[in-house]
């Protein structure tokens, strides 16, 4: 009886250890595809129109610059990855009509080969991140400059 109880405990322990290893491997696989993407010193462009090109520039130390051609302004910030999503966190201090109040926002992108597709944006409002409305019929895809 005691031998059966010990065998059962060892079997349960082995199953839970293997389950933990499987979850760890699964978690690494989720991140491995995006983790291997090195954006350092790359430039990406999106043609808003023939005369207007938005630009994303990725610098060393996770720094980023997002140039908005319609505003003729370069936003400075940082970038990071959450699972398979690129997050570009930027500071908006371009609007003098807001009493020079600085606003913060996060743009979300999906990287696929030589394309970065815009997914949406969050804006800091009253100390909380809130989803921004975007134009549904406009697909924003940046292409890597070689």
Q: Are residues 19 and 67 both part of a single domain?
A: no
List, for residues 26-40, the tens digit of each pLDDT value. Answer: 333 333 345 568 899
Q: Which of 87, 85, 91 is nearest to 104 (CA)?
A: 91
Instruction: Provide the pLDDT for residue 128.
Output: 83
Work out the average pLDDT over 138-146.
Answer: 88
Q: Are residues 65 and 137 both part of a single domain?
A: yes
Phi, psi of 101 (to 5 degrees): -75, 130
Q: Which two tokens stand for residue 92?
A: 């908006």
Structural domain for 28, as ranges: 1-34
Instruction: Provide the pLDDT for residue 123.
Output: 87
Is 141 within 8 Å of 117 (Cβ atoms)?
A: yes
Q: Are residues 78 and 14 both part of a single domain?
A: no
Specify the number of domains making up the chain: 2
């Amino acid at each position: 009886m005691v031998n059966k109880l010990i065998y059962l405990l060892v079997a349960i322990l082995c199953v839970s250890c293997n389950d933990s290893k499987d979850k760890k491997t699964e978690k690494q696989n989720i991140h491995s595809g995006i983790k291997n993407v090195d954006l350092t010193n790359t430039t990406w462009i999106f043609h808003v129109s023939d005369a207007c090109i938005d630009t994303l520039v990725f610098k060393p130390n996770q720094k980023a610059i997002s140039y908005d051609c319609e505003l003729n302004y370069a936003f400075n910030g940082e970038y990071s990855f959450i699972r398979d999503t690129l997050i570009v966190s930027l500071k908006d201090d371009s609007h003098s009509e807001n009493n020079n109040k600085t606003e913060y926002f996060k743009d979300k992108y999906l990287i696929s080969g030589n394309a970065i597709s815009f997914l949406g944006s969050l804006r800091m409002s009253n100390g909380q991140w809130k989803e921004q409305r975007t134009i549904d019929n406009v697909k924003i895809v940046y292409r890597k400059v070689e």
